[in-house]
Structure 1
C-alpha cells in the first residue's frame, strides 16, 4: 500500500462510527499484550475514545490512505505541560509502509513541546517503532523509562518514551 496519499486530520463527529470501528481493531490488537478479553457484547473499554472526542485537552486524529481508514491517534495533555500520544493504531494492511511514522511526525509537529508515548515491552513491533519515531523526531535527545500501570499492579510496567518536538519551522 503506498503512503503517498496519507491524510492525517482531526476527526469530527461525522467520523465517530469509523473511529469506533478502528478503536475496536486497536483494542483487539492490544488485547494480546494486555491479557484483556472483550466485554460480553464483544466490545472493549472505550473511555479513551469518548475522552478523545469530548474532553478538554484531547484531540482525535483519523489517518486515511487513498480515502480509506488506515488508523487513529488520540492526543491528550494539550492543555497541560506534556502532550501524550495516548492511543495510536495503524490497520495491519497499512503497516510497514511508512504511514505510521509519517502520521506521528505530522501529529507531533501540530503540537510542539514535550511529548510522551507509552507502550509494552511484550510488543516487539511497538518497541522498535517507538524508538525509531523518537530518534527520527529528536535524534538522541529522548529518554525511556518503565512506569507501573496505575491500578493494575499484576501486569508489567509500561515503557514510556519522552522527547521534545520543535515547531515545524524551527
Structure 2
C-alpha cells in the first residue's frame, strides 16, 4: 500500500504554505475569519511545525501531487495533538485521509486529541470514523471545550483516542 503522509522538510514548505491557504479558507466558513489585507491567513501553527521540536509537519501526497497536510504538536508532551489536518477537495472520499491519519499516529504512538467544529458535518463524521477505526467503538471519547480567546464561537469538539 502506498504511503500518503510524508514528514515535510524545508523544500516542502512552499507546497505546505499553499495548502495552508486552502485549509484556512475552508476553515474560515466555520470560524468566521477573513484573510489579512495581503490575502493570507494566520500561519503561526505552520511556522511552528517547521521550527519547534515538539511539532512535526506532514505533507500528504498522492504520487507526486500534494493532496493535503497534517500538523502534529505535543510530541514532547504526554498527549499528541493533530493540530491541523486538511485534504484537498479533489482527493476527498478516497480513503486517503483515514490512511494518512493512521500513518501519522502510527509514527507517534500514544494518546491523541483532535479538535473540530460541530457545524462542520464532514469533519464530525470523518473524525468519529477515524477514532473508531484506530481505537475501536469504545476506545475513544468526545468532549467540548471553549475556544481560547474566542467567546463568540461555539465550543470545539475534541476527540481523544490512543494509537
TM-score range, shorter chain: over 0.9
Distance in 1 between residues matched to 2:159 and 2:76, nearest whole Å:
20
- SS, match of residue 4 in structure 2: strand
Distance in 1 between residues matched to 2:30 and 2:149, nearest whole Å:
17
8 A Cα contact 1:113 1:164, kept in partner: yes
Superposed CA deviations along residues 66-113 of structure 1, whole A, max 9, x for unmatched, are: 210000000000000000000000000000000000000010011111
> Deviation at 1:7?
2.7
Give the root-mean-square deviation of aligned CA atoms: 0.8
Q: Which of these residues, 35, 44, 48, is aligned with residue 45 of structure 2?
A: 48
Distance in 2 between residues matched to 1:164 and 1:19, nearest whole Å:
27
> Deviation at 1:56?
1.9
Q: Which runs of 5+ in 1 are unaligned?
A: 166-170
- Would you identify which runs of 4 or more consecutive aligned residues in structure 1 move more than 6 Å? none
Distance in 2 between residues matched to 1:109 and 1:132, nearest whole Å:
17
Superposed CA deviations along residues 32-88 of structure 1, whole A, max 9, x for unmatched, are: 000011010000000000001011200000010021000000000000000000000
- SS, match of residue 129 in structure 1: helix
Per the normalisation by structure 1, the TM-score is 0.93
> Which residues in structure 2 correspond to 1:8-47 (within 5 Å)?
8-47=5-44
Distance in 2 between residues matched to 1:145 and 1:7, nearest whole Å:
29
Distance in 1 between residues matched to 2:5 and 2:131, nearest whole Å:
19
Distance in 1 between residues matched to 2:15 and 2:21, nearest whole Å:
10
Q: Which runs of 5+ in 2 are unaligned?
A: none
Distance in 2 between residues matched to 1:22 and 1:163, nearest whole Å:
27
Distance in 2 between residues matched to 1:6 and 1:82, nearest whole Å:
24
Instruction: State the partner residue of 1:87.
Output: 84
Count of equivalent residues: 162
Per the normalisation by structure 2, the TM-score is 0.97
Distance in 2 between residues matched to 1:20 and 1:141, nearest whole Å:
34
